[in-house]
Amino acid sequence: MGPPTTEPIGLQLTRTAKAISRAFDEALGEVGGTLPTWLILVSLKGQQHGAQRDIAAAVGVEGPTLTHHLNRLEDQGLVRRSRDPGNRRVQRVVLTQAGEAAFFRMLGAVQAFNRRLQAGLSERQLTALEQALGRLRDNVLPTG
């Protein structure tokens, strides 16, 4: 029997990220959420009256993709859009009462998922993991 073969770290990380992402999607789905919805609600909760372009930047999507998500959230009664009185070309987005309730439902699911994800890891291990993930991210970001 030869030495154990080790998958390259990139492959291990990719498989782990996919498994975690699927589990996170399922956790959000159990409370009626999705990752795009969660990211948008978090962005709005953090800045109260967000301009659409600021939300798109915070969420990391292009304007047309955000518009699609906002249309859906508005149809569900979770957000309300209006024109900025100072600049009619700017759309402002705010959470509705239903959006606030959805945010807190999803927040509970996110916190429970985070506890599940971190189970069995010490503070020291979590700190080391954060540092290692930061290094891996820095290693692949373009320089210059």
The pLDDT tens digits of the residues spanning 80-124 come to: 998 878 777 778 899 999 999 999 999 999 999 999 999 999 999
Q: How many CB atoms lie within 10 A of CB 13?
A: 14
Return the CATH number at 28.
Answer: 1.10.10.10
Per residue in 23-43, is it b (16+ CB within 10 Å) or e — as a string? ebeebbeebebeebbbbbbbb
Question: What mean pLDDT do residues 11-36 have?
Answer: 96
Asked whether residue 67 is assigned to any structural domain, the reply reads yes
C-alpha torsion sign, points 70, 72, 78, 81: positive
Which pLDDT belongs to residue 143?
Answer: 80
pLDDT band with cut points at 50, 70 and 90 for residue 60: confident
Tokens 């372009």: give the residue: 53
Which pLDDT belongs to residue 107?
Answer: 98
Asked whether residue 135 is assigned to any structural domain, the reply reads yes
Please give the tally of structural domains in the chain: 1
